[in-house]
Structure 1
Amino acid sequence: MSWNEPGGDKKDPWSGRNEKDNPPDLDEVIRSLQDKLGGIFGGGKRGDSSNGPSMQSIGFLAAGALALWGLSGFYTVDEGTRGIVTRFGAYVATTQPGLNWHIPAPIEQVQVINVEQQRFIEVGYRSGGGQAMGSVPKEAMMLTRDENIVDVRLAVQYQVKDAKDYAFNVLDPASTLKQVTESVERGVIGRSDMDFVLTEGRSEIVAAIKTEIQSVMDAYKTGILITSVNLQDAQPPEQVQGSFEDAIKAREDKQRLINEAEAYSNDVVPKARGAASRIVQESEAYKEKVIAQANGDVSRFSQLLTEYKKAPAVTKQRMYIEAMEQVLGKSNNVLVDVKSGGSIMYLPLEKLVNKVADDAAPAPTPVHEPVAAPAPQVKETRNDIRASSRERDVRGR
């Protein structure tokens, strides 16, 4: 039963007085607490000076407290992180992964920074749950060199390369990087045409943005390394999207027609050049042939003239014989001279003429278009033969 409940002894547990008689004295309560604490530390009552707290106990307690305070300075730096040690807020050292020690707080403090974590910022858009949440016009709308507006969405990945610079040189590294990225991006896009940004210039623009961002961040000594810059999207504003698509289709049709025309030209022009070259070569060949024949005729005529001057009669006779040979060589008529003397020759003239005609006859024509071959005509002048025989007989007599 407590002292203040009905039926209790009415004794104050601090002062030992009866509550009914007098209220508790505050000084006595304090002295009672001091006596009990003195008993814990090995002393007696407060009034007994010979039984006060011993210096040895106080030393043990102080040493224990100091040991605990010193042990609190041990800390572990994980792999991929660095520890930044500060003494009263000033930089002291950068600790590597493993077990380390520093003067415990409040003298020194440690800030652990992850230097291998891949961080990223988004410029021109915001994402959530892995899906794009749409454009941020204030950041995405940019003016090109040809005075067109383009909607550009960019993502920059980075990591910490110097923990000391990252912790002390910039108040908010992520915000600084975002502002630098937006500024550099506007500068690079402003130096490029819209078609270049939307088509073949993406890789070149990304490389230029990454280089300039890294240069500015190094100048600021932010301790940030840009690992990659990704151009998520680049397109015209939504208000002119339809017109821009029509322009793209027209440009594609134009390019298609140009390609078809070039293909046709590549097919026709070589053929025409080949035909022209063939005609030129044939002309050159004909020219060389005519010149060669003319030179041959001139040379033959010159040689013939020389021989003619030596023996005109013989040359005339020979020329006459050669001319008659050429003329009569193609004739089907057979002439027999019986006046020159000798006996009459009996030869199968019809067979000889037929053989010559067969050799000179053209190739057979198709059956449905028959062509009659000309029959050789043999003229035999029997009277001339008989007259020649008689003349020989007269001469013989």
Structure 2
Amino acid sequence: MSKDTKNPWGKPGNDDRHYGPRGGQGGGGNRQEPPDLDEMLRRAQENFREVMPGNLGGGAAIGLFLLAVVALWLASGFYIVNPGEHAVVQRFGAWSRTQTTEGLGYRLPTPIEKISKVDVNAIRRMNIGFIEHASRGGASQKQEIPEESLMLTSDRNIVDLYLVIQWNIKSAEDYLFEIEDQENTVKKVAESAIREVAGQTDMFPIITKGRETVADKTKAIIQQNLDEYHSGVNITQVLIEKAEVHPEVQGAFQDVQSAKQDAEDTQNRANQHRNDILPKARGLAIQTVQEAEAYKEAQVAKSRGDADRFNAVYEAYLNGKDVTKERIFIETMEKVLGNAQKIIVDSENAQGVVPYLPLDQLKPAAGNNQSAGTVTGQQQGVRP
């Protein structure tokens, strides 16, 4: 770096003409040049001669003159601090103290001490990516600065950003003595911060619902860097006024958004179909399980009933085998012959008669599955 080159980040270069009272370069526009002492004394002497009576001795006149000059010189040390201001006092060029309360203050007269007043409550505004021009109608017009507004995102897209930085001063002595060209320093730090955040973020969140998050991250990085420089600057707010896709990638961006919308619609329809089918499937599964449980219980109950009935018959058989056999035979025949067509032959009244059964006529009509049965006694006659 050459001798005449100034560091834009606020660190002093090698130019000895601009070193501040803390070893860094002085900053700000609140510098007070010491008055010409010889000129002040000459004017005071002329004024004193005009008002002094002519019969006063030369020695006494000079003494009174010097006394008046000293009094005026001491009185010049009074100053007033207005609301919202801090007064920084320098003694022989070095920082001495800072008065943060408003009202009357005193410092040793020039050239021993001098003061610099800084408005610490004023909110300063800085634009990044654009400049504003006042129009006749009162509304401002924005002119883009491409080298500031164009940002590269993490997904390698280009966005156009307008950033507004609002800040005030939290330490008057740091603001005056630690950095040079304070506004330019704040702007460079802000540009670096927003490019860092944009480079770590995809394009879509920046231009949609993620603006506030991007602004908050940018504010935190700006404040951290400025604190490291002891700049005395406090960032109050970071606003993203504009975040748009660069025209060169607008077409591709629209295609991507259309594809995302189609995918979202398809997913919504699939979810709707799933929500419609799943309850029905769950209900059918529950119904099937319940029917199976009911069938199981019915079969178990039936099997237990059959087993109990068999055990009861078996016990009865053991107690009376002949009776039980007869009863079982009768019950079985009752089941067999209950629905059959029967012919009853009385063996007592049919002695000497050969039984004749017209089987062809006794057959049931076609399609009737009932069987014909006969009960015969002894081989004697047929009841007419």
TM-score bracket relative to the smaller structure: 0.5 to 0.7
Structure 1 residue 176, shift from structure 2 partner = 0.6
Specify whether residues 236 and 39 from structure 1 end up closer, same or farther in structure 2 by C-alpha distance, changes over 3 A only.
closer
Partner of 1:107: 112
Matched ranges for 1:162-181 at <5 A? 162-181=171-190
The amino acid that maps onto 1:89 is: G
Matched ranges for 1:159-238 at <5 A? 159-238=168-247
Give the RMSD, CA atoms, in angstroms.
Answer: 3.0
Aligned equivalents of 1:329, 1:105: Cα separation in 2: 141
Aligned with 1:159: secondary structure?
strand
Q: Give the alignment partner of residue 143 of structure 1, picking from 149, 152, 167.
A: 152
Specify whether residues 199 and 323 from structure 1 end up closer, same or farther in structure 2 by C-alpha distance, changes over 3 A only.
farther
Unmatched tracts of structure 1, length 5 or more: 1-36, 44-50, 331-397
> Conserved in 1, the CA contact under 8 Å of 2:157 and 2:249?
no
Q: Deviations over 1:105-146 (max 9, x none)?
A: 333221111112111222122234564504321011111222
Specify whether residues 241 and 54 from structure 1 end up closer, same or farther in structure 2 by C-alpha distance, changes over 3 A only.
same
Aligned with 2:122: secondary structure?
coil
Aligned equivalents of 2:49, 2:221: Cα separation in 1: 72
% of aligned pairs identical?
Answer: 39
Structure 1 residue 225, shift from structure 2 partner = 1.3
Aligned with 1:221: secondary structure?
coil
Structure 1 residue 40, shift from structure 2 partner = 7.3
Specify whether residues 39 and 304 from structure 1 end up closer, same or farther in structure 2 by C-alpha distance, changes over 3 A only.
closer
Pair 1:261-2:270 in alignment: yes
Unmatched tracts of structure 2, length 5 or more: 1-47, 340-384
Specify whether residues 293 and 77 from structure 1 end up closer, same or farther in structure 2 by C-alpha distance, changes over 3 A only.
same
Q: Give the alignment partner of residue 260 of structure 2, picking from 227, 248, 251.
A: 251
Matched ranges for 1:1-397 at <5 A? 54-96=58-100, 97-129=102-134, 131=140, 133-316=142-325
Specify whether residues 39 and 77 from structure 1 end up closer, same or farther in structure 2 by C-alpha distance, changes over 3 A only.
closer
Aligned equivalents of 2:221, 2:311: Cα separation in 1: 91
Q: 242-251 vs 66-75, which deviates more?
A: 242-251
The amino acid that maps onto 1:224 is: V
Q: 164-173 vs 279-288, which deviates more?
A: 279-288
Aligned equivalents of 1:136, 1:201: Cα separation in 2: 23
Specify whether residues 323 and 281 from structure 1 end up closer, same or farther in structure 2 by C-alpha distance, changes over 3 A only.
same
> Conserved in 1, the CA contact under 8 Å of 2:158 and 2:249?
no
Q: Tell me which of the two structures has the higher relative contact order, counting C-alpha pairs closer than 8 angstroms and 6 or more residues apart.
A: 2
Higher helix share: 1
Structure 1 residue 240, shift from structure 2 partner = 2.9
Aligned residue-pair number:
287
Q: Deviations over 1:229-258 (max 9, x none)?
A: 222222211233344234323322321331
Aligned equivalents of 2:51, 2:119: Cα separation in 1: 49
Q: Deviations over 1:279-310 (max 9, x none)?
A: 12212321232232123212321222222232
> Conserved in 2, the CA contact under 8 Å of 1:42 and 1:53?
no
| Structure with greater Cα Rg | 1
The amino acid that maps onto 2:85 is: T
Which runs of at least 4 in structure 1 moved beyond 6 Å after TM superposition? 37-40, 320-330
TM-score (norm 2): 0.66
